Amino acid sequence: MGVYMQPTKKNGKLIIKMTEFSGFYKLSVEERIARIKEYAQLSEAELIVLKNTGALKLDVANRMAENVISATHLPLGLGTNFKINGKEYVVPMAVEESSVIAAASHGAKLSLPLGFEAHADEPIMIGQVQIVGLKNAGDVAVKLESKKTEIEKIARELTKNMEMRGGGFRRFYTRAIKTERGEMLIAYFEIDVRDSMGANTINTMLEGIAPSLREYAEEGQIRLRIVSNFADKRKARARAIWKKETIGEEAIEGILDAYTFAKTDIYRATTHNKGIMNGIDALAIATGNDWRAIEAGAHAYALRSGKYQPLTHYEKNKEGNLVGMIELPIALGIVGGSINSNSIAKIALKILNVKNATELAMVAVCIGLANNFAALKALSTEGIQKGHMKLHARNLAVIVGASTDKEIDEIALALERRGTYTADCARDILKEIRLDRFFL
C-alpha cells in the first residue's frame, strides 16, 4: 500500500516519526485510522467517535446552538510533514474543499528538513466597555484614571480564576472619542486568558466591572461590554526557508511575482489571504474553535496600515533561497468554549499534542504559511487547476452518482486523462462505464 513505512520499535516501544506519514494519503481510511491510533495512542472509544461521522449527537448539538434540527458534517483530515521549532506535528484539519490538506502537507514537506520557526505572544485578549452620553469624555477619562487602582483591583478580582492559572488582568486604559452621536469614552481591559480563546472570560469580566466604571464616571450610560476580535496583542508568527535546490528558481521567481501582485492589488490580496485562511480555519474548526473570530482578526490585521495587504511576506535570501514569513492575530483555545462538548475537537487536540494555546497558535500560522506557499507555487507555475482539480475529480464522480470505489477511481482517472474537470464530463464518463459493463 503506497510508500507507507512500518513504524520502528525501540526497546519494544513504538516510535512513529513524521516521515512515516509520507504517502499517508495513499492508505485506505481504515489504515489511516489504524496509523493515527498508534501515533496518538487513541483509545477504542476515541476510534468509535472517529469512525462515526455523525458523531455529534442531537442532544449535544441542541446544547451548542439554537433551533437545532440536525448537524452538518465536514471531512476531518490530517496535514502531514509539519516540523515546527524542531517538533513534529500531525495537524487535524476540517475542511470541505479538496486539495487544501494536500497543499498544506506539500508546502510543509518542501520546507524540510528545517521546517518552520514560529513564535507566539502571550495570550492577551482585549475587552471594551463603551460609555456614551458624556459632556466631556476627556474629563471622564481623567476621573477613571484617578480611580485606576480601584478599577484594577476589581478587574483582578473578576479574573482571579485566570490569575490562579498564571494569567489574569494585565492593563487598563481609556480612549475618548468624538462621534456624530456625541462624546464617548471607551475603557480597554487587557486580560491574559491562558489556554482559552478568552471571549467568555472577557465578556463576564466586562459586565461585572461596568457598573463600577459608571459609578466612577459619575455620568453617562454604559452601552457595549464585549471582547475585541482584533486580538493584536495575541499574534503569532512563523518563518520557513524553501531551498532553490528543492523547489527550483522558477518557482521562487513565480512566488515573488505573485506576492508583489498581492501587495499592490486588493483583489489579489484578498484571494491570497483566503488561501492562508484555508488552513488556519481548517485547524480552528477541527479543534472546536471560533473561526469567525480568527477570520475577523486576520482581515483587520491585513488592513492595519490603512491598505489591505497580504498576511505573508516573501523574499529571496543571499543564497537565493525563498524565505516566507507570516504574522497575524491568533485567538485559539485548547479549553473552554464548545471544545468541552465536542468529542472530535478533543481527539484532534490529542493528535496535535500541543501543550498550550500559544503552541496551537504557532501551529496555526505555520499551516497558513504552508497553504499560501503551496497555492502560490502552483498558481505561478503549472496553474492551480492541475493539482486542485485532480483531487476534486473524485468529488465530481460522487456528485454525478458514481456509487462504488471502482466507478469513482475510473471516473477520476478518465477526467485526468481528458483534462476536463466538469460535472458534465464526469456524467458522460459514468454513462460510458455503465454501458460498457452492461454489454460485458
Binding site for ligand HMG (CB under 6 A): 22-25, 80-81, 97, 99-103, 105-106, 109, 271-272, 274-275, 278, 374-376, 378-379, 384, 387-388, 391
Catalytic site includes residue 97: yes
Catalytic site includes residue 407: no
Task: Give CA–CA dist 323/135, Å, rounded.
Answer: 53
Catalytic residue, candidates 37, 87, 88, 97: 97
Residue with cell 507555475: 381
Closest CB 386 distance from ligand HMG, rounded Å: 6
DSSP letters, 131-165, are EEEES-HHHHHHHHHHTHHHHHHHHHHHTHHHHHT
Question: How many CB atoms neighbour CB 306 within 10 A?
Answer: 6
- Nearer to ligand HMG (CB atom), residue 103 or residue 118: 103
- Nearer to ligand HMG (CB atom), residue 234 or residue 272: 272
Residue nearest to ligand HMG (CB): 387
- Nearer to ligand HMG (CB atom), residue 173 or residue 267: 267
Please say whether the beta carbons of 365 and 82 come within 8 A. no
Catalytic residue, candidates 119, 244, 263, 274: 274
Closest CB 381 distance from ligand HMG, rounded Å: 9
- The CA dihedral of 222, 225, 229, 234, to the nearest 10 degrees, is 110
Closest CB 286 distance from ligand HMG, rounded Å: 16
Closest CB 274 distance from ligand HMG, rounded Å: 6
- Nearer to ligand HMG (CB atom), residue 23 or residue 211: 23
With 0-12 / 13-18 / 19 or more C-beta atoms within 10 angstroms meaning exposed / middle / buried, residue 257 is middle
Please say whether the beta carbons of 238 and 366 come within 8 A. yes
- Nearer to ligand HMG (CB atom), residue 150 or residue 315: 315
Closest CB 19 distance from ligand HMG, rounded Å: 8
Helix (H/G/I), strand (E/B), else coil: 36: helix
| Nearest Cα residue to 370 out of 116, 120, 118 | 116
Catalytic residue, candidates 195, 388, 407, 410: 388
Q: Which amino acid is at 405?
A: D
User: Where in the sequence numbering do the catalytic residues fall?
Assistant: 97, 274, 290, 388
